[in-house]
Amino acid sequence: MSVNTSSHTERRIVFLIIFLAVMVPLIFPIGWGSEVSPIARMSYDLIDETPAGKYGLISFDYEASTITELQPMAVAQIEHAWSKGQKIIATALWPQGPQMAEASFAEAKRNPAYADKEYGVDYVNLGYKVGGIVTLQAMGSSIRDVYPKDSSGKNWDDLPMLKGIRTLKDLAWVSSLSSGVPGLKEWVMIAHDVHNVPVTGGTTAVSAPGFLPYVNDQKQLHGLLGGLKAASEYEMLIDKKGPATTKMDAQSVAHIVILLLITLGNITAFRRKRAKANLTGGQNA
């Protein structure tokens, strides 16, 4: 009983320390810098090297629970593509995706440089479709057949920017911001591996290690943004001090605190083990 109580108390102290480690830097930012990783730069380069007037597709394959990590990526990619004169098509394989897309476009338009971007001319939100990989397979034949209307009910033919679009092959790049299945993996399977359309994407940090093998010589993925850190890297690349950048101080401090706690826990466990061994040795003697 006493061990349990002590363990519970220790856990609560750890929770409190982590809470403070996150909250204090949010209120009093430190301004620590961060380096851009090669795979985040690959993702940036794909959009950066695409000529003006081309079409990019961002698939919003996440919901509200992961907006902290994925929304900053969406906003940064939208601003980057607009800054290069590209047009953006938003789709979603998750039901809340269209709302995420709407919020991201609204956030990007708050930047005065993009306030004049017009719906139907510079961007469209086609909305959610059920079906995952089957939907993507159908988009390979005709995007119009899958999305005869946009998320607000407007007909495909009434959206001027979609006139040049028929299939996935008409896209210059695809980016899936994904927090699970269906998501980035399905886009790699269909858009890249079948139709040879360059695919990049962003995932929550939990999913990122599973996608790293796709960033390979075969270019199954053109770079990857994994978690809040990669979102802040993308913001650095487009020279923006956005929401991901401001949260990185809290992330870094929390990581240092966790490292210290792991070290402290190991030292304590080691000392206890040694004390127990000494006690057993003494009793045997």
The residues binding other proteins (CB under 8 A) are 8, 12, 15, 18-19, 22-23, 26-27, 29, 65-69, 95, 127-130, 133-134, 137, 148-149, 185, 188-190, 193-194, 204-206, 208-209, 213, 216-218, 220, 226-229, 247, 250-251, 254-255, 258
Q: Which is nearer to other proteins, 19 or 270 (CB)?
A: 19
Which two tokens mark 232? 């802040």
CB of 133 to other proteins, least distance (A): 6
CB of 197 to other proteins, least distance (A): 14
CB of 247 to other proteins, least distance (A): 5
Return the half-sphere exposure (C-beta side, CA atoms, 13 A cut-off) of residue 212.
Answer: 11
- Residues 201, 115: Cα–Cα separation, whole Å: 25
92: nearest Cα among 68, 57, 142, 46: 57
CB of 19 to other proteins, least distance (A): 8
- Residues 3, 98: Cα–Cα separation, whole Å: 50
Q: Which is nearer to other proteins, 87 or 222 (CB)?
A: 222
Q: Which is nearer to other proteins, 46 or 208 (CB)?
A: 208
Q: Among all chains, which residue has been given the structure tokens 């695809």? A: 174
Q: Which is nearer to other proteins, 30 or 277 (CB)?
A: 30
Phi, psi dihedral angles at 173 (to 5 degrees):
-160, 160
CB of 193 to other proteins, least distance (A): 5
CB of 228 to other proteins, least distance (A): 4
**CA triple 96-99-101, angle to 5 deg:** 110
- Residues 187, 176: Cα–Cα separation, whole Å: 7
Q: Which is nearer to other proteins, 161 or 257 (CB)?
A: 257
Q: What does each C-alpha distance from 127 to 24, 151, 217, 265 come to in angstroms? A: 39, 4, 33, 48
Q: Which is nearer to other proteins, 198 or 226 (CB)?
A: 226
- C-beta separation of 66 from 225 below 8 A: no
